[in-house]
Amino acid sequence: MPKIVDHDLYRKELLHKSFDLLAEKGYAAITMRQIAQGLGVSTGTLYHYFPSKESLFEQLMEEQAQQDILLATAELERLPSLKEKLAALFEFLQADQDNFFKRSLLFVDFYQEQQREGKVLSDVLQRVCQRIQETIAALLDINDPELIIFILSYIDGLMWSPIYDHKPINFARQTEILTQMLTAYLKPANPQK
């Protein structure tokens, strides 16, 4: 009897396993042959699921973003206040900080490789960022797109801190700072008594 393969599940397993390979070598430096070897599959199998390294990367980033969105939504949507939601968001980020940092480095490497090769930039980064922005806006109940960009830029800065500062981030303090800033910014100009 032939083995029944769930191709979508197998594709997701390959994506999941390829992340560490890409993070270790870098997007520009690794080849599909090296990825296949690292995954223990034939190059033909890898190309069956991913027609190019770019396709593999795009699907990986979208899959990881989707998983993050599902996990963050499950954690934050049940919380009543902005302060509690931000605290949960920062706990979520702290728990997987190394992964987020590696992903950021891969995004930059991918972007630079696209530029070097003179390719039209893939819209994967834009799609992923758009979904994250929409999710954060909905979870924090903030309708100002520029404020969402500010929040995500703040978070990105924290995620990049290992490059320029080797001290651990005090996520609890960063939560307090951001909560105070947002609370003051979102306070009505003329509160009714």
pLDDT tens digit sequence for 56-83: 999 999 999 999 999 999 999 999 999 9
Please enumerate in sequence order all residues whose Cβ is within 8 A of that of 65, keeping only pairs 6 or more positions apart, or say none.
128, 131, 132
Q: 157 versus 1: which is more confidently predicted?
A: 157
The pTM for the full model equals 0.86
Please enumerate in sequence order all residues whose Cβ is within 8 A of that of 132, keeping only pairs 6 or more positions apart, or say none.
65, 68, 69, 152
pLDDT at 178: 95
Q: 160 versus 132: which is more confidently predicted?
A: 132
Determine, yes or no, domain membership for 18: no
Q: Is the pLDDT of residue 123 over 80?
A: yes
Determine, yes or no, domain membership for 192: no
- Measure Cα distances from 3 to 6, 7, 49, 65, 159 in Å: 10, 12, 18, 31, 43
Q: CA-CA distance, 71 to 29, in Å (whole number)? A: 31
Q: Supply the range of the domain harboring residue 143.
A: 53-186
Q: Is the pLDDT of residue 139 over 80?
A: yes
pLDDT band at 193 (very low <50, low <70, confident <90, very high): very low
Can you read off the two tokens belonging to residue 62?
């979208």
pLDDT at 165: 75
Determine, yes or no, domain membership for 159: yes
Given the structure tokens 């770019």, which residue do they identify?
A: 54
Distance of CA 167 to the CA centre of its chain: 22
pLDDT at 1: 58
pLDDT at 27: 95
Ramachandran assignment for 31, one of left (phi > 0), alpha (psi -120 to 50 degrees), beta (any other): beta
Residues 14-67: tens digit of each pLDDT: 999 999 999 999 999 999 999 999 999 999 999 999 999 999 999 999 999 999
Determine, yes or no, domain membership for 28: no
Q: CA-CA distance, 151 to 128, in Å (whole number)? A: 16
Determine, yes or no, domain membership for 13: no
Determine, yes or no, domain membership for 12: no
Determine, yes or no, domain membership for 26: no
Determine, yes or no, domain membership for 77: yes
Q: Which of 35, 29, 41 is nearest to 56 (CA)?
A: 35
Q: Is the pLDDT of residue 190 over 70?
A: no
Q: Which of 129, 140, 12, 2 is nearest to 65 (CA)?
A: 129
Q: Is the pLDDT of residue 188 over 80?
A: no
- Number of separate domains in the chain: 1
Q: Is the pLDDT of residue 192 over 80?
A: no
